[in-house]
Each structure stands twice: as C-alpha cells, then as structure tokens.
Amino acid sequence: MPGIYDEPELYEAACAYRDVPCEVDALLRWSGQHGNPDPGRPRSVLELAAGPAEHSRELARRGLDATTLDLSAAMCARAGELAAADATRLTVVQADMRDFSLSRQFDLAITMLNSLCHLLTLDDLLRHLASVARHLAPGSLYIAELAHPADFFGAERRTSSEWSSEVDGGTVRVRWGGGSDEIDPITQITREHVSVTYRKRGGAVRTVTDVVPNRFWTATELTAAIRLAGGFAVAASYGDFGADTPVEAADAWRMILVLRREAGTSGG
Ligand SMILES: C[S@@+](CC[C@H](N)C(=O)[O-])C[C@H]1O[C@@H](n2cnc3c(N)ncnc32)[C@H](O)[C@@H]1O
C-alpha cells in the first residue's frame, strides 16, 4: 500500500496552507542575523527530508544553488519534476538524512515541517547532526523547524491535527495524528494515523491513509543531543516565522532552532 510520502501530490495539497515565501524570508533574515563570520545571503542551501522541496525551490528561484535530499523516490521525482516545470535549477539526491555524504559543503542547511520527527532514536539524531555538520563550513547555519513542545505538554495543542483547505479550485481534508493516537511514554513515538482526501477541481476524489511514526523531541533533549554531537552551537530559537517570536512565548506554535556550525569542534 502506498503511504502518504509515496503520494507527493496529495502530500502537497495537505501542506498547501503554508506561506512558503514568508517562511523563506525568515530563513534568509535569520541567516543574515546569525550567520558568521560573513553574515548576509547564503549562496547555497541543502534541504533535508525535503519532500517536494517547496523551500529549496523557492530559495533557488531567489538565486541560491539548491540541493534537496529525501529518502522517498516518489518525493525526489516530484521535486525534480516541479523544478523542471518552472525551469528552476535544483539538485535532487535520494538519500537517508541519518547518514549521508555529498562530497561538498553548503552555506545553509534546513529541515522543515517537523521532519526531524522521522529520527526515531538518539543515535539517529546524533548521526544526522554529524552528517549535517560535515556539509557546513564554520559559521554556516542549520535551521530546523520542529513541532512546538506545547502540542505535547500544554493544556491545549497549539496546532490542529485536522484541517481542510482550498487547493487549485479543489478541496483537501486532512487528519494527521490527534484523536486517539497516543504517544508511547517510553519511546516518545506516536503512530500517527493520517488520512488525506483530495477532491480536485472537476470532481476526481482520492484518499490516502497511512500510519506514520513520529518521535517527539523535547527542547532539552535537542539541546543535549546538539551538545553531545559537537559541531554546533544554538544561535537562536524562534516560535514562529512571521515575527521573531521567542519559542517561549505563549503564542509560539513552532520550535525553530538556528544552529551555527562551530570551528574547531567535532561533529564529523
Ligand atoms: C513531513 S514530510 C516534510 C517534507 C518537507 N520538509 C516539507 O516541508 O514539506 C517528511 C519527509 O521526510 C522524508 N523522510 C523520512 N525519513 C527520512 C530519512 N530517514 N531520510 C530522508 N528523508 C526522510 C519523507 O520521505 C518526507 O518527504
């Protein structure tokens, strides 16, 4: 049975609620603020677990040399097709973000939309951080967007697990986790039940259902793993893309870590 990541068109429709240009504005703003020693515009970007590569294609359109990496053959094919369709230059690599080697370095690395939840163990996270560190020169940034811990610890979730939106004249209805899906108290993994129904303009309807494992990483676990892995310092953390909202703010709804590659430290 194909899962949601084998169905890029449905995945894209499910995630079409995002304002990708606004999120890319924030990535470039933070690069200018926190990149060191040469703050300013990064010239190259590596997007991990990129799926259809919305953010790296937008960065490529803004002139960056963009490379996108994903485990799913279907997602890689889709990223390549979408880039070709609007003549955007994009290098697509099918690989595992837990351990990869691309034989070059980048000015910026990004992982969007809580894709780090697919690193299920501390060993996975440490290998991932070491791989990313090997691909960044000192002073370059790694920006990772994760779910806000209040979704797990707060009295009320800050994001919804069910939503619907209008997409290209059609409608998409999504359930992603929530409901009776329970986090395993030992592994911190939730087997999230996913259902995406896309009614396209013209009437064709498709539904994909899946069960996707999601590892919840707390803020302090991430800080500890970053220290243990070596190679990075936490330069900043934010709770939103639109304004530079602190991750601690009551209205923060994402946990966005800005990591700076440190000179003379390990990390691979
Ligand atoms: C929630 S989607 C996010 C896609 C994209 N970052 C975005 O913002 O739309 C998660 C992606 O992670 C990919 N993925 C899962 N495990 C992976 C791994 N070990 N290495 C690389 N990609 C992985 C999936 O194929 C999927 O495309």
How many Cα atoms sit within 13 Å of 114 on the Cβ side?
Answer: 19
pLDDT of residue 154: 81
Cβ-proximal residues to 265 (8 Å cutoff; 6+ apart), any chain: 230, 231, 232
Distance of CA 249 to the CA centre of its chain: 21
pLDDT of residue 97: 98
- Distances 156 to 174, 250, 255 between C-alpha atoms, Å: 20, 11, 16
Pocket residues: Cβ below 6 A from ligand 1: 5, 15, 49-51, 54, 70-72, 75, 96-98, 112-113, 115, 118
* pTM for this predicted structure: 0.96
Q: Check: CB of residue 120 under 8 Å from CB of residue 96.
A: no
- Distances 62 to 14, 59, 70, 258 between C-alpha atoms, Å: 25, 5, 22, 21
Query: And the tokens for 164?
Result: 């619907």
Whole-number Å distance between alpha carbons of 67 and 135: 12
Query: In 3-state terms, what secondary structure has residue 230?
Result: coil
Question: Atom 11 (ligand 1): residue with closest C-alpha?
Answer: 49
Whole-number Å distance between alpha carbons of 156 and 162: 14
pLDDT of residue 51: 98
Ligand 1 mutation pick, 71, 114, 159, 208, max ligand atoms within 8 A of CB: 71
| Nearest ligand 1 atom to alpha carbon 118 | 16
**Alpha-helical segments (H) within the chain:** 8-14, 20-34, 54-61, 73-85, 122-134, 150-153, 219-229
Question: Atom 17 (ligand 1): residue with closest C-alpha?
Answer: 71
- Other C-beta atoms within 10 Å of 49: how many? 25
pLDDT of residue 38: 64
pLDDT of residue 15: 96
DSSP percent split of the chain into helix, strand, coil, nearest 5: 30, 30, 40
Question: Atom 14 (ligand 1): residue with closest C-alpha?
Answer: 49
pLDDT of residue 199: 95
Q: What is the pLDDT along the chain (268 residues), one digit of tens a residue?
A: 789 999 999 999 999 999 999 999 999 999 999 987 665 789 999 999 999 999 999 999 999 999 999 999 999 999 999 999 999 999 999 999 999 999 999 999 999 999 999 999 999 999 999 999 999 999 999 999 999 999 988 888 889 999 999 998 999 999 999 889 999 999 999 999 999 999 999 889 999 999 999 999 999 999 999 999 999 999 999 999 988 899 999 999 999 999 999 987 666 5
| Nearest ligand 1 atom to alpha carbon 111 | 6
266 CA → ligand 1 middle, Å: 26
Q: Check: CB of residue 141 under 8 Å from CB of residue 260.
A: yes
38 CA → ligand 1 middle, Å: 30
Ligand 1 mutation pick, 4, 117, 118, 119, max ligand atoms within 8 A of CB: 118
